[in-house]
Structure 1
Amino acid sequence: MAAEASPLPGYYRFHARIYDATRWSFLFGRDRLVRLAAEAVARDGLERPVRAAEVGCGTGRNLLALSRALPGASLTGVDLCRPMLERAGRTVSRTACAATLRCAAYGPDTFAPGSLELIIFSYALTMFNPGWDTALEAAREHLAPGGILAVVDFHNTPAGWFRAWMGVNHVRLDGHLVPELQSRFQPCRHEARPAYGGLWRYFLFLGRK
């Protein structure tokens, strides 16, 4: 997703200021994803520090949680939106989280092939329109053999008006991601859960390269 083609930097120029104060009310499953991803990687018993990245790291909330779940891990946060990354920088600077932050569009050249044991997408892929398929192919290339891809995101909704409203907010909500994840990665875990009485569903996916 090219930086110059994306509307997201402008969108988050305002939303970065209120993101953590508001998103807890509908970005469900993030803590569970971090915990399950850390457990999956830890079970592999790597002798070197885990190399992990979050694509669309936003304010750094998940990086902080990941640093606690995987002490000593080498963490990188990638985000296209500088206002969000500036918030992430302040988040990690006040803690023991030693994450590297990169302001860039995620793509094939972001990391070296096979250089990561874990890649996380948390409510990011449904906003990569176009570009979600390129991001998945890049993630597969960047993961080492046996590496884990961990995703939590919006899945679908029966309400046409809500799908349209989410589209205004740059989110595609039509269930397109899960089949593509399952076709590219060996599924380890897949959950789909309702939110707000079934107004929409979100999903959690862990897959292995």
Structure 2
Amino acid sequence: MASKHITASVTEQNETMQRYYVLQSKIYDLTRWTFLFGRRAVIRQLPLDPGKAHRILEVGCGTGYNLRLLARRFPKAHLTGLDVSTHMIEKATKATKPFAQRVQLEERPYALGDTQYLEQFDAVLFSYSLTMINPQWEELIRQAKADLKPGGIIAVADFFDSRFRWFKTHMGNNHVRMDGHLLPLLEQEFTTLSHSVKPAYGGVWDYFVHLGRKV
């Protein structure tokens, strides 16, 4: 019975995201630069040799913004992007067209227990996706650990917390959980290489960038 409940919860979450991004996919890149801070920083800080043919996974690749940056920074890397939204995958396909030979896009959820990519990736990136994946965020962090090679890197940029209840409520209405819940598990599951928590808009909320290594 428990597994059926979990499956139903994941299915409901995926359907919610499909509906949410029908409109959001059209305006995402025009609007998100105003508050999705740290995306370029987390890619810039990835401790990987640009001259090597790394395998990098992005979970919740959205419009392909980060995949495009990754393709430019790591010109020999093979990139995989996952997203549950049909509309986002369509956007990502267009955005990564110049790198199509090195970019694989998949319209599907990321889920604990999937054995397709076990210990295959040099890095797994979550960029403003984990705070929207509720209540499965813990499972996805653990799946990322399983999919990383020994010594592989988990890289996360996301919302951290806010001291304003009204803002948390507003973000919750947009499917975002903000209560500092991600960092403790990331620090538990990985050896921390670096992390920073910074204020946005004078402290209305904080965001963080975290890099950890699988040992």
Partner secondary structure for residue 135 of structure 2: coil
Contact 1:3 1:105 (8 Å CA) reproduced: no
1:22 aligns with 2:31: yes
Whole-angstrom distance in 2 between the partners of 1:110 and 1:19: 31
Corresponding residue for residue 106 of structure 1:
110
Which of 150, 154, 163 matches 2:155? 150
Secondary structure, in 3 states, of the residue corresponding to 2:155?
A: strand
How far residue 2 of structure 1 moved from its aligned partner, in angstroms, is 2.6
What secondary structure sits across from 1:71 in the alignment?
coil
- What does residue 12 of structure 1 align with? 21
* Match status 1:138 vs 2:146: no
Which 4+ residue blocks in structure 1 deviate beyond 6 angstroms? none
Structure 1 residue 110: Cα displacement? 6.4
Distance in 1, matches of 2:160 and 2:189, equals 17
| Structure 1 counterpart of 2:49, from 42, 47, 50 | 42
Residue in structure 2 matched with residue 96 of structure 1 by the alignment: 99
Contact 1:126 1:153 in 2 (8 A): yes
Question: Take 1:128 and 1:70, find their aligned partners in 2: how far apart are those partners?
Answer: 28
Look up the match of 2:10: 2
Q: Residue 56 of structure 1 aligns with which residue?
A: 60
Indicate the RMSD between aligned Cα atoms, in angstroms.
Answer: 1.5
| Alignment check: 8 A CA contact 1:3 1:80 kept | no
Paired with 2:12 and 2:155, the residues of 1 have a C-alpha distance of 27
Question: Could you tell me which residue of structure 2 aligns to residue 85 of structure 1?
Answer: 89
Partner of 1:205: 210
Distance apart, 1:92 and its partner CA: 1.1
Could you tell me how far 1:4 is from its partner in structure 2?
Answer: 4.2
Q: Which amino acid aligns with 1:162?
A: F
Query: How many residue pairs align between the two structures?
Result: 203
**Residues 111-141 of structure 1, C-alpha deviation per residue, up to 9 Å, x if partnerless?**
3210100000000000010110010010000
Runs of at least 5 residues in structure 1 that lack an aligned partner in the other structure: none
Within the alignment, does 1:165 sit opposite 2:170 as a pair? Answer: yes
Identical pairs, percent: 43
Single out whichever of 105-114 and 150-159 deviates more from structure 2.
105-114
The separation in 1 between residues aligned to 2:55 and 2:142, in whole angstroms, is 19
Distance 1:35 1:105, change over 3 A: same
The aligned runs of 1:114-129 (5 Å cut-off) are 114-129=119-134
Take 2:170 and 2:176, find their aligned partners in 1: how far apart are those partners?
A: 9
Indicate conservation of the 8 Å contact 2:25/2:63, yes or no: yes
Contact 1:89–1:101 (Cα < 8 Å) also in 2: yes
Any gaps of 5 or more consecutive residues in structure 2? Answer: 1-8
Residue by residue over 1:75-117, the C-alpha shift from the partner in whole angstroms, topping out at 9 and shown as x without a partner, is: 0000011111100011112x23531000000013163210100
TM-score if structure 2 supplies the norm length? 0.91
SS at match of 1:20: helix
